[in-house]
Chains A and B, each alone.
Chain A
Amino acid sequence: QSVLTQPPSASGTPGQRVTISCSGSSSNIGRNYVYWYEQFPGTAPKLLINTNNQRPSGVPDRFSGSKSGTSASLAISGLRSEDEADYFCAAWDDSLSAWVFGGGTKLTVL
C-alpha cells in the first residue's frame, strides 16, 4: 500500500479535461511540495509537474497541478491519445524522512 492514494485508473475522450487526485496527510502533502511524473510502458518516469504547479521546460500547458490541504490534483486538458500513460504523484514525508509516492493512475484515452 502506497503512502499517497491515487485512483488506479482514469479515462477520457480526446479533447476532454481529466483530473487525477492524490491524497496524503499532514506529514507529506500537507506541508511539502507535490510532484507529478508521467510514465510510458517500458520507459523511465518523466517529471511533469514541479513544486505543486510548475511545469518543467517542454511540458505542454495542457498539464497543470494544484494542491489544497493534504490533497493534490493533476489536470490534463485537451486530452490527446498520446497522454495515455501512468501518472504518479510524490512528496517528501517529514515523519518517514523519505520520499513517498502514490500507487499510480493509468490514464486511458477512449
Chain B
Amino acid sequence: QVQLQESGPGLVKPSQTLSLTCTVSSGSFNSGGYYWNWIRQHPGKGLEWIGCIYYSGTTSYNPSLKSRVSISEDTSKNQFSLNLSSVTASDTAVYYCTRGHDNGDYVDGFDIWGQGTMVTVSS
C-alpha cells in the first residue's frame, strides 16, 4: 500500500518561504497514471487545493496562490516538494500531500493522503 509522508519545519517566520517535502513510499511515484497534490486546511476550516505536479512534470496551481507557489519533484528520491513564499499568519494550516489518478482526459480525486503536517507562521 502506497503511503505518503510530509516533512518540514513546523514553524516559519512571516515573509519567509514555507518548504515541505512529501515522500512516496513505493514506486508509483515514477510510474504514469498519477498526479501529486498539496492541499491545506486552516484550523477548524475547510480544505484548500494548493496545486499539483503531473507525471510529465507539468504543474498546476490554485490561482489564489499561484504567485507564491512552486511544486517540484525529485524522482530519484520518490519525493515532491512545496515552496510557498512570503508567508503570513493566514498560511498557518495543516498541509497534506495527496495522490490522485490521472486518467488522461480527466483527473480523479485524492485516494491517498499523508497524515498532514501543521505549519505555523509566527515570529
Contact = CB atoms under 8 A, between A and B. Distances in A.
B36 interface: no
A98 B62 contact: yes
Mostly helix, strand, loop or mixed at chain B's interface?
A: strand
A35 interface: yes
Interface of B: 37, 39, 45-49, 60-64, 96, 106-111, 113-116
Given A101-B46, A104-B46, A46 B113 contact: yes
Contact of B111 (A56, A100, A103): A56
B106 A98 contact: no
A24 interface: no
A70 interface: no
A29 to B, nearest CB: 13
B111 A98 contact: no
Nearest to B107: A92
Query: Which bucket holds chain A's interface residue count?
Result: 20 to 34
B110 A47 contact: yes
Interface core residue of B46, B108, B109, B115 (most chain A CB under 10 Å):
B109
A35 B109 contact: yes
Contacts of A99: 37, 39, 49, 62
B109 A50 contact: yes
A59 B99 CA distance: 18
